[in-house]
Amino acid sequence: MEKETRCYDVAVIGGGPGGLPAALEAARHGARVLLAEKNGYLGGNLTIGLPLLGYLDKDGNRIVGGIAQEFADELARRGAAGPHTWCPLHNSVTIYDHEAFKIMALQRCLEAGVDLLFHTQVLQAEAEDGRLKSVVLFGKSRRIEVRARVFIDATGDGDLACMAGASYEKGEGDRRAVQPATQMCALGGVNLEQTISYLEEHPEQMELPESMAIYPGYDPAYLRANAKYHVLVGMRGIFRELRDRGELPVDRDTMIYITSLIPGRVHINCTRHLRVDGSDMLDLTRAEIEGQLQNYALVDVLRRHVPGFGGCYLERVFPFVGVRESRRFKGTARLTGEAVESGLVGADAVGLGGYIIDIHDGSGAGTVIRKVPPYGLPYGMACSAEIENLMFSGRCASMDRTALSSARVMPTLMVLAQGAGLGAALAAGRGISPGAVDTASLRAILEREQAILSPAGAAGGAGAGSPAGRA
């Protein structure tokens, strides 16, 4: 086995929405940065067919800026992203080209001087006296020991932090059930004109349960007005009938599709894998097997029963399951459900969230949705309370389960990642721990970089049809 040692100011483990902006931000502020990623490309969950949700708040005002908005602007310039489209259910939907995102992310990192390392997994972490000394990465018969002033765990599941001995929680209460995972797929040959026409004739197919609190206007007229840029959560009547007859291969009561920039293609978010712990390779294996087989079977069901899908075909099953919830670690601050629902924005906020509370029941019983005002992402949720040079970026950050259900969407995680990356660079440059960084100075830098730090600074230009847009 080949062995080597590398030294950095900042080492970011994981190149998804929690890691990519953190590495970019740290490098842009002069840090020598390693970004290690298990795949052979950047983006993580940004590449598995999902839309970008939550650039706008519930009233249609843009609350996400900084690097996350930079990405959206650059994709739009390349013809690879639509506008931030207001949605009565999801607040906003941004449709983009996932392959174009991979290339853009790679180019941005190379321009910033980020040292990239693909096809690697964390093998070992050595912590001593409350400090992370080194991390061993492994891949293709090569062992690389990484030493850094600051480490950022952006693995999603907190693999690095767990190996370093940081404490964490999963689920909630005695049940300890995490939200279910989903395997996305892409279908071609879909005629959405037929689908929307059917829904106009059968609007009851878009009725949602009382547990899903949304603004009025999530109806066929909304789909018609935003035919290129929408997410459908519907077909409940059809899915209930199929499930009652034992013909539905997925454990869902609704169909979810996401439009694509490519005509005739949609992305399907329908599989639901219960009791899957994303930090357990055995659970992930089961979910991957279930997801591939379920998506294959679902295509035939959609062809036979859902208008507009009669000629559809499976283009691809995306390469890994999307995990909604696994480990959450202890930070110097914690984002709580109470703070989210009250719209609390503290003096230590590095940006805003504002996506809906969206809790998928781990037992498969349904989904709870509640609207929330914009809220602050405290810097301390990214700083370990136990290991002084360890940070969390992504859904493994310090928050409770209710807060996670809102903050887990990718634009919000990119906001937190930029703040974490800046804190890491400042800490490494000054020889202090990330938790000792002055948040007032950090916020001043973020504000100069077009981050949105308070609802008063939310960008105008509310989405068409939104409450703010109609005002």
Phi first, then psi: give them for residue 103, nearest 5 degrees.
Answer: -65, -45
pLDDT digits (tens, 9 = 90+) for 355-402: 999 887 766 657 888 999 999 999 999 999 999 999 999 999 999 999
427 pLDDT band, cuts 50/70/90, is: very high
SS3 assignment, position 238: helix
pLDDT number for residue 365: 56
E runs forming strands in 42-193: 52-53, 85-87, 91-94, 115-117, 121-128, 131-139, 142-153, 168-169, 185-188
- Work out the average pLDDT over 158-165: 96
Claim to verify: residue 386 and residue 295 sit in the same structural domain: no
CB 6 within 8 A of CB 142: no
Claim to verify: residue 411 and residue 446 sit in the same structural domain: yes
Q: If we measure between CA atoms, which residue out of 455, 362, 372, 457 comes closest to residue 406?
A: 372
pLDDT number for residue 175: 44
E runs forming strands in 200-356: 231-234, 255-259, 266-268, 313-317, 328-329, 349-353
pLDDT digits (tens, 9 = 90+) for 320-349: 999 999 999 999 999 999 999 999 999 999
177 pLDDT band, cuts 50/70/90, is: confident
DSSP β-bridge partners for residue 145: 5, 136
Q: How many residues are listed for the chain in this entry?
A: 471
158 DSSP 8-state letter: -
267 pLDDT band, cuts 50/70/90, is: very high
Claim to verify: residue 216 and residue 295 sit in the same structural domain: yes
Claim to verify: residue 243 and residue 122 sit in the same structural domain: no
Q: How far is CA 170 from CA 107, 234, 255, 371, 395, in A?
A: 36, 30, 28, 24, 11
- Work out the average pLDDT over 186-203: 98
Considering the domain boundaries, does residue 244 fall inside one?
Answer: yes
Q: Report the chain's mean pLDDT, rounded to a whole number.
A: 94
pLDDT number for residue 364: 62
Considering the domain boundaries, does residue 39 fall inside one?
Answer: yes
Looking up tokens 């797929």 gives: 185
Considering the domain boundaries, does residue 223 fall inside one?
Answer: yes
Claim to verify: residue 40 and residue 144 sit in the same structural domain: yes
pLDDT number for residue 256: 96
Q: Which residues, 6+ apart, have CB-to-CB distance to 281 below 8 Å?
A: none
Claim to verify: residue 219 and residue 144 sit in the same structural domain: no
Share of the chain above pLDDT 90, in %: 87
214 pLDDT band, cuts 50/70/90, is: confident
- For 433, other C-beta atoms within 10 Å of its C-beta total 21
Residue 161 is encoded by which pair of tokens? Answer: 């932090």
pLDDT number for residue 212: 82
Does the CA dihedral 436-23-354-464 come out positive or negative? positive
pLDDT number for residue 467: 63
pLDDT number for residue 2: 86
pLDDT number for residue 49: 96
pLDDT number for residue 471: 34
Claim to verify: residue 383 and residue 267 sit in the same structural domain: no
Q: How far is CA 310 from CA 64, 293, 300, 301, 404, in A?
A: 38, 20, 9, 9, 37
464 pLDDT band, cuts 50/70/90, is: low
Considering the domain boundaries, does residue 37 fall inside one?
Answer: yes
Domain assignment of residue 195, given as a range: 185-317
CATH number of the structural domain spanning residue 336: 3.50.50.60
Q: How far is CA 162 from CA 129, 328, 417, in A?
A: 16, 10, 19
Q: Which residues, 6+ apart, have CB-to-CB distance to 229 below 8 Å?
A: 82, 83, 85, 93, 94, 95, 259
Rounded to the nearest angstrom, the gap between the alpha carbon of residue 49 and the centroid of all alpha carbons in its chain is 11
Considering the domain boundaries, does residue 48 fall inside one?
Answer: yes
Claim to verify: residue 16 and residue 137 sit in the same structural domain: yes
pTM (2 decimals)?
0.95
SS3 assignment, position 228: coil
pLDDT at 81 over 50: yes
Claim to verify: residue 190 and residue 119 sit in the same structural domain: no
Considering the domain boundaries, does residue 52 fall inside one?
Answer: yes
pLDDT number for residue 275: 87
Claim to verify: residue 459 and residue 331 sit in the same structural domain: yes
pLDDT at 461 over 90: no
Claim to verify: residue 14 and residue 121 sit in the same structural domain: yes
- Work out the average pLDDT over 49-73: 97
Q: Which residues, 6+ apart, have CB-to-CB distance to 279 below 8 Å?
A: 157, 158, 159, 162, 170, 326, 327
Claim to verify: residue 107 and residue 204 sit in the same structural domain: no
CB 146 within 8 A of CB 6: yes
Considering the domain boundaries, does residue 214 fall inside one?
Answer: yes
What is the distance between the alpha carbons of residues 208 and 226, in angstroms, rounded to a whole number?
A: 19
460 pLDDT band, cuts 50/70/90, is: low
Q: Tally the domains of the chain.
A: 2
